[in-house]
């Protein structure tokens, strides 16, 4: 296992510079247009596919970086380019990770290629978990999956919400309840193939930020899928449900719950890295502006009121990155998050993104409040980081419970 280091190696630097170049040359020039259109930026995704950024191979290479820094480095650079377009590029990865983590080799080989398509015919995938009444409270999930043994089919009914690429995806991965009595331990994930009858797009959300990323409801009405579309297979599901029932009877359910929490913890640093990218982008705009904008005969950065804000912004961004890198390294090194370090990184970075982008607007003054400058968009985009992948309140709850050992509510 690689030792922790704050210095990227030559290969990592090459990858970082490559992604940064794509973000600067392709994503940034298109950012304002797709934000205004509030549509999926298919041409940009296609360009990303042609150069190799929009592919499972690319994300796999970063994921298996032995230092743990591949994914946060890539996320920071892409979201430095533009958060909405970046989420359109990386959104398919959520569904792909769901299949890789839970699926059989046959399922991985069959469905992952269909999620991405080809550079000439790009596809996207959607991961559908949240529901209108089940966001932070995943135990309130109502979407049901019932097994029809006679036909070896699963029948899905329910409504999912906040689904990135929901309804426009080639492949949907849907989390559903198979045993209501087991609560969150009675959930399973299913592949809904392209063109399956009964799946439709519900409301498409008009959002405050990340507007180039498609977010919608997914409605499931008697959606029938083959038994082979249960991720991991029915034998594995039956064994897992049996163990959960036995643990529930013996009072051992809490251990399962903590294992699931550890899985969520490991994914949160990537969102923190996204927030760092957006914060860094806004800081750089503000710094450049402060050095070139003159008032009273001198650049405004000559004033402590502006210079000290920029000093604080840079300090907070670097601190957020270090928390993200620490948690990412701990995850790949198998170190336990004994103080909820994954949640710490996501909480701090997301709050920093909101604060730094707001400060950038203040430094630009009236210009910052217009769409002629990108900090206005960056500030709108930053709001999502304190909401998705667990709100800031949920992160604080996780951290408080972990450090105290108490069932804080």
Which of 209, 231, 250 is the last residue before a domain boundary? 250
Same domain, 263 and 394: yes
Q: Is 389 a catalytic residue?
A: yes
Q: Which of 346, 354, 355 is nearest to 397 (CA)?
A: 346
* pLDDT digit string (tens) for the chain, length 409 residues: 567 788 999 999 999 999 999 999 999 999 999 999 999 999 999 999 999 999 989 998 999 999 999 999 999 999 999 999 999 999 999 899 889 889 999 999 999 999 999 999 999 999 999 999 988 777 789 999 999 999 999 999 999 999 999 999 999 999 999 999 998 899 999 999 999 999 999 999 999 999 999 999 999 999 999 999 999 999 999 999 999 998 888 876 544 443 334 445 567 999 999 999 999 999 999 999 999 999 999 999 999 999 999 999 999 999 999 999 999 999 999 999 999 999 999 999 999 999 999 999 999 999 999 999 999 999 999 999 999 988 999 999 999 999 999 999 9
Could you please report the per-residue DSSP string of 85-135?
Answer: HHHHHHHHHHHHHHHHHHS-HHHHHHHHHHHHEETTEE--EEEE--BTTBS
Contact 189/102 with Cβ under 8 angstroms?
Answer: yes
* Angle of the 42-51 helix axis to the 28-37 helix axis, nearest 10: 150
Judge if 219 and 277 occupy the same domain. no
What's the CA gap between 192 and 241, in Å, rounded?
A: 22
C-alpha torsion 260→266→269→271, nearest 10:
-50
Distance CA 349, CA 316 (A): 8
Examine the domain organization and report whether 90 and 142 are in the same domain.
no
- Give the residue from 73, 54, 77, 76 showing the smallest Cα distance to 63: 73
- Regarding whether 399 and 272 lie in a shared domain, the answer is yes
Contact residues for 123 (Cβ-Cβ < 8 A; gap 6+): 92, 114, 115, 116, 117, 169, 170, 171
pLDDT digits (tens, 9 = 90+) for 349-370: 999 999 999 999 999 999 999 9
Assess whether 161 and 222 both reside in one domain: yes
**Structural domain contains residue 149:** yes
Helix (H, G, I), strand (E, B) or coil at 154: strand
- As a whole number of angstroms, the distance between CA 294 and CA 190 comes to 58
Q: Is position 4 within any domain?
A: no
Q: Are strands 171-177 and 125-128 parallel, antiparallel or unpaired?
A: parallel
Q: What is the dihedral of CA 104, 105, 109, 111, to 10 degrees?
A: 10
Domain closes at, from 222, 250, 278: 250
Residue ending a domain, among 122, 148, 178, is: 122
Do the Cβ atoms of 234 and 147 come closer than 8 Å? yes
Q: Say how far apart CA 374 and CA 361 lie, in whole Å.
A: 9
- 304-333 and 253-292 are packed helices; what angle lies between their axes, rounded to 10 degrees? 150
CB count in 10 Å sphere of residue 227:
14
- The total domain count for the chain is 3
Flag whether 2 is in a domain: no
Q: What pLDDT digit, counting tens, does each position of 117-152 carry?
A: 999 999 999 999 999 998 877 778 999 999 999 999
Identified catalytic residue from 3, 39, 389, 393: 389
Q: Measured between alpha carbons, how far is residue 23 from residues 83, 125, 212, 233 in Å?
A: 10, 22, 15, 39
**Cα distance between residue 370 and residue 48, in whole Å:** 29
Domain that holds residue 211: 125-250
Residue 5 lies in a domain: no
Distance CA 185, CA 336 (A): 22
Contact 230, 257 (CB under 8 A): no
- Which residues make beta-bridge pairs with 204? 216
Residues 308 and 216 in one domain: no
| All residues at 6 or more sequence positions from 109 whose CB lies less than 8 Å from its CB, including other chains | none
């Amino acid at each position: 296992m690689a030792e922790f280091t704050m210095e990227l190696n030559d290969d990592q630097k090459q990858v970082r510079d490559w992604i940064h170049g794509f973000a600067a040359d392709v994503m940034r020039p298109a950012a304002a247009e797709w934000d205004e259109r509030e549509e999926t930026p298919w041409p940009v995704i296609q360009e990303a596919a042609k150069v190799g950024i929009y592919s499972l191979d690319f994300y796999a290479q970063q994921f298996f970086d032995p230092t743990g820094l591949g994914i946060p480095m890539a996320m920071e650079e892409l979201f430095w380019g533009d958060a909405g377009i970046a989420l359109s590029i990386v959104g398919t990865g959520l569904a792909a990770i769901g299949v890789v983590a839970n699926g059989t080799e046959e399922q991985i080989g069959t469905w992952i290629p269909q999620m991405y398509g080809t550079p000439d015919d790009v596809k996207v995938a959607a991961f559908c978990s949240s529901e209108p009444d089940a966001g932070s409270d995943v135990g309130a999930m109502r979407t049901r999956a019932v097994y029809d043994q006679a036909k070896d089919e699963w029948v899905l009914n329910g409504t999912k919400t906040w689904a990135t690429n929901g309804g426009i995806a080639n492949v949907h991965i849907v989390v559903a309840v198979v045993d209501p009595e087991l609560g969150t331990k009675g959930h399973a994930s299913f592949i809904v193939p392209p063109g399956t009858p009964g799946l439709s797009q519900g409301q498409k959300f008009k959002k405050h930020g990340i507007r180039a990323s498609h977010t919608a409801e997914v409605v499931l009405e008697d959606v029938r899928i083959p038994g082979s579309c249960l991720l991991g297979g029915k034998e594995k599901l039956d064994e897992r449900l049996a163990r959960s029932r036995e643990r529930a009877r013996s009072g051992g359910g809490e251990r399962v719950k903590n294992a699931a929490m550890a899985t969520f913890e490991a994914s949160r640093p990537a969102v923190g890295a996204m927030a760092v990218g957006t914060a860094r982008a806004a800081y750089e705009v503000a710094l450049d502006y402060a050095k070139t904008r003159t008032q009273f005969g001198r650049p405004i950065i000559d004033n402590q009121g502006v210079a000290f804000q920029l000093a604080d912004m840079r300090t907070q961004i670097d601190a957020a990155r270090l928390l993200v890198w620490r948690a990412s390294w701990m995850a790949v090194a198998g170190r336990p998050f004994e103080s909820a370090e994954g949640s710490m990184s996501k909480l701090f970075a997301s709050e920093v993104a909101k604060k730094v982008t707001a400060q950038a607007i203040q430094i630009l003054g009236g210009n910052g409040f217009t769409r002629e400058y990108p900090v206005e968009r960056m500030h709108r985009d930053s709001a999502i980081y304190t909401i998705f992948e667990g709100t800031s309140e949920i992160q604080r709850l996780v951290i408080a419970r972990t450090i105290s050992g108490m069932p804080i509510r």
